[in-house]
Amino acid sequence: MGRRGDGGGIRVSDRTLATLDGVTRAYGGVPVLDGVSLSVGAGVTAVVGPNGSGKSTLLGLLAGAVEPTAGAVRYAEGGPRSRSERCVGYLPQRVPFRDGFTARETLGFYAALVGGDPGGALADVGLGDAAEKRVEELSGGMRRLLGIAQATLGDPAVVVLDEPTSGLDPEMRERAFRAAARAGDDAAVVVSSHDLDLVDAHADAVVVLRRGRVAAVGARDRLLDEHGVDDVAGLYRAVAGRSDDRAPAAAEGEGGRSGGEAGDPDDGSVHVPGVSDR
């Protein structure tokens, strides 16, 4: 269970680990995100919003996988462990793990790049018993858990998880969110999700996107009080569930496609997931 923030902003710790300052990202001249400013600290920050609202683009910007059209993304000069580098762990919607390698071997490859203990990372997400299984033998839920383990290798200060529960059964969704919440004990974990019940149970802070802009942001409990609702589902309906909430045509498709906004030139590109040192 994540810690609940009590402040007036999105941060749930005293230390800001990542900041978006007036960030805009456009594709084909159409802004998918428009002037977004927010900061994140240790704990779990959930990003929610309708399809096409800019969730995947926001997470890609935080991870350093997407460059802003305007504005800036900044990271703290070190993390909770006073590391000198700016290290971000990233789980995109599509994780192209290669068949033929075991779960331990797969994480060993990434550990060689960023450090960390593959066996410990597998145990942290509940895959200790599956360490010697080949990737192609893992279920969809186990692959997502492997992706979370990959994104948290090397103890990054910021962990970005794009729809880590997508396509999973209820038990696996809960396991995935619990794994993400554990990483938030000493890192800033930013996760996009349509599973509002799990967001309600585990998120310290919530960002609600609507038509590419921040419609609400802050500590979960404070937002519920401000909007007079009992849970995150009620907050979503109050802030983003309006009948005129339609994204621009070029931005539609988020969530309906497996990886980013429609119109995103990076959609379908090949990159090394899980690691972004920016």
Q: How confident is the model at residue 154 (pLDDT cuts 50, 70, 90)?
A: confident
Single-letter amino acid code for the residue at 245: D
Whether residue 173 has pLDDT greater than 50: yes
Q: What does the pLDDT read at residue 77?
A: 59
Are residues 146 and 107 in contact, defined by beta-carbon separation less than 8 angstroms? yes
Q: What does the pLDDT read at residue 186?
A: 77
Whether residue 262 has pLDDT greater than 50: no
CA–CA dist 187, 183 (Å, integer):
6
* Residue-averaged pLDDT of the chain: 80
* HEC per residue, 95-130: CCCCCCCEHHHHHHHHHHHHCCCHHHHHHHCCCHHH
Whether residue 236 has pLDDT greater than 90: yes
Q: What does the pLDDT read at residue 87?
A: 80
Digit-coded pLDDT (tens) for 87-125: 899 999 887 799 999 999 999 999 998 889 999 999 988
Whether residue 217 has pLDDT greater than 70: yes
Q: What does the pLDDT read at residue 242?
A: 60
Q: What does the pLDDT read at residue 130?
A: 95
Are residues 91 and 272 in contact, defined by beta-carbon separation less than 8 angstroms? no
Q: Average of pLDDT values for 246-252?
A: 38
Q: How confident is the model at residue 182 (pLDDT cuts 50, 70, 90)?
A: confident
Q: What does the pLDDT read at residue 15?
A: 74
Digit-coded pLDDT (tens) for 66-84: 999 999 999 985 433 333 3
Which CATH number applies to 16-251: 3.40.50.2300, 3.30.450.20, 3.40.50.300, 3.30.565.10?
3.40.50.300
CA–CA dist 83, 166 (Å, integer):
32
CA–CA dist 53, 247 (Å, integer):
6
Whether residue 54 has pLDDT greater than 60: yes
Which of 89-93, 167-171, 175-179 has the highest mean predicted lDDT (pLDDT)? Answer: 89-93
Quick one: what percent of the chain has pLDDT higher than 90? 56
Whether residue 129 has pLDDT greater than 80: yes
Backbone angles phi and psi of 271, in degrees to 5: -145, 165
Question: Does 28 or 247 have the greater pLDDT score?
Answer: 28
Ramachandran category for residue 85: left, alpha or beta (phi over 0 → left; psi -120 to 50 → alpha): beta
Digit-coded pLDDT (tens) for 11-44: 344 578 999 999 999 998 899 999 999 999 889 9
